[in-house]
Amino acid sequence: MKGFISCASMLCLLFLAATGLTAENMPNLAGVWTTTSEGGVMVKGETVGKTTHWEKKQTTLHGELTIKEQNGPVLFGEFTSPRNTEAFIAVIGHDGKHIYFADTDGYFDATLIDPDTIEMIYRHVTATDTVAAVGVWKRKK
């Protein structure tokens, strides 16, 4: 019986250790990030949609991402480019390194490289256009 209790206790500890981040080791991502992305847009008609950040034949996009609020692993903010400002919501994954974003028409999958650098992949598909991009964000100091 003692062996069973010891084994069950060890399994519980392992489960608790593997279930995710604690408040102490949650990365703080709040603030302003400068962004540079390489990618493009595939236009389905004459022009891109009103809310699309990319123009026809554009291959680089510079912008600013602001994480206005962080509640544990949940992030709220906005992305601003020369063409548009768009709200987003995101969550930090259980490993504390992967971040998953959704804006009004697309998705970012991001990886925290260090406290001041995030790498991301973005894509969206709308009635007017499709975008795919890869980029790096740097925390503004």
**Pick from 45, 102, 113, 99: which is nearest to 78 by CA?**
102
Domain span holding position 85: 26-139
Note the pTM of the prediction, 2 decimals. 0.82
pLDDT band of residue 13 (cuts 50, 70, 90) is very low
20 located within any domain:
no
For range 106-132, the mean pLDDT: 97
14 located within any domain:
no
CATH classification at residue 118: 2.40.128.20
Number of domains in the chain: 1
73 located within any domain:
yes
pLDDT at 15 over 70: no
How, if at all, do strands 60-71 and 31-43 pair? Answer: antiparallel
66 located within any domain:
yes
Token duo for residue 49 = 């949609």
Residues in the chain: 141
Cα dihedral value 107, 25, 68, 113, nearest 10 = -50
State whether residue 117 is helix, strand or coil: strand
44 located within any domain:
yes
pLDDT at 136 over 60: yes
Q: How far apart are CA 2 and CA 37, in angstroms?
A: 58
4 located within any domain:
no
pLDDT tens digits, one per residue of 71-88: 999 999 999 999 999 999
pLDDT tens digits, one per residue of 59-74: 999 999 999 999 999 9
9 located within any domain:
no
101 located within any domain:
yes
Spell out a b/e string for 120-136, using b for 16 or more CB atoms within 10 Å of the CB, else e. bebebeeebbbbbbebe
Token duo for residue 84 = 């548009």
pLDDT at 11 over 90: no
